């Protein structure tokens, strides 16, 4: 996995941003990852290939289907599924949820593949900061069928402490749900990239302060 290329790709798409932001968990952060800023066909194609490479390395074809939580997970799971098929000939079904259940037609809140008992599901998401989105997602999957959610793939592991002192949100997801989280890059990779470019010295200083306060490395 070419982490430097992925960081530069995110920055060129204005997805990895440096500045002053507030995360979903309410923390003031000097960097932010907003996958909602991907907006062209080439960008989503490239992103799908990065995800597909990681999925291929970690799981191969050893899963039943891919799930993308609404809303940002929807284009991510779609792009990853397409890239897995085109790049590695791994043609797997995918599905996603609605925020509000549909009250007409077939109804329900899942779109695409319909999970069945015994399915092995992997989740495609953008980032994990405090694990809030994961805890909101799992009830939707477990209520659909007796599925086994084994792995989760994200763009960036922020390596931040979750609800338990000394444990990152990623560690908590493993403890609570038995889900192994795989990231294309981590905050350490971003830090090392900034450290190698003198023009980011101010951003690097703020990131190091943030990491000392919130990160478990």
Query: So what's the architecture of 3-99+110-214 in CATH?
Result: 3-Layer(aba) Sandwich (3.40)
Give the model confidence (pLDDT) of 105-156 as tens digits.
454 688 999 999 999 999 999 987 767 778 888 888 999 999 999 999 999 9
Round to whole Å and give the CA distance between 216 and 113: 37
Helix (H) or strand (E) holding 79: helix 73-88
Q: Is 162 helix (H, G, I), strand (E, B) or coil?
A: coil
Give the model confidence (pLDDT) of 179-192 as tens digits.
999 999 999 999 99
Q: Which of 24, 102, 146, 197 is catalytic?
A: 102
CB atoms within 10 A of CB 61: 12
Chain-centre distance for alpha carbon 108: 24
Mean residue pLDDT across the chain: 91
Tokens describing residue 21: 């932001």
Residue at token pair 């979903």: 24
Q: Which of 104, 114, 167, 197 is catalytic?
A: 104
Is 197 a known active-site residue? no
Tokens describing residue 64: 């039943």
Of 149, 169, 155, 195, the closest CA to residue 73 belongs to 155
| 5-9, 47-51, 116-120, 137-141: range with lowest mean pLDDT | 137-141
Tokens describing residue 90: 């791994």
Burial class of residue 83 in the structure, from the number of CB atoms within 10 Å of its CB (0-12 exposed, 13-18 middle, 19+ buried): buried
Is 191 a known active-site residue? no
pLDDT on residue 102: 54
> Helices 187-195 and 3-12 meet at what angle, rounded to 10?
80
Confidence of residue 24 (pLDDT cuts 50, 70, 90): confident
């Amino acid at each position: 996995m070419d982490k430097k290329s992925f960081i530069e790709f995110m920055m060129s798409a204005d997805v990895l941003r440096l500045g002053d932001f507030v995360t979903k968990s309410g923390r003031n952060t000097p960097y932010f990852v907003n996958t909602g800023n991907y907006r062209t066909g080439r960008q989503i194609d490239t992103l799908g290939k990065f995800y597909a490479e990681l999925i291929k390395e970690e799981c191969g074809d050893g899963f039943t289907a891919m799930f993308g939580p609404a809303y940002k997970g929807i284009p991510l799971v779609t792009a990853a599924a397409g890239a897995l098929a085109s790049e590695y000939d791994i043609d797997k079904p995918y599905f996603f949820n609605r925020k509000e259940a549909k009250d007409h037609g077939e109804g329900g809140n899942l779109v695409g593949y319909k999970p069945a008992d015994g399915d092995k599901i992997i989740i495609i998401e953008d980032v994990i900061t405090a694990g809030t989105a994961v805890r909101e997602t799992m009830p939707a999957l477990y209520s659909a069928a007796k599925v086994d959610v084994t792995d989760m793939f994200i763009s960036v592991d922020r390596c931040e402490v979750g609800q338990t002192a000394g444990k990152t949100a990623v560690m908590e997801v493993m403890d609570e749900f038995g889900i192994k989280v795989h990231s294309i890059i981590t905050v350490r990779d971003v830090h090392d990239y900034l450290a190698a470019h003198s023009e980011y010295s101010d951003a690097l200083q703020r990131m190091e302060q943030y990491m000392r306060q919130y990160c478990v490395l």
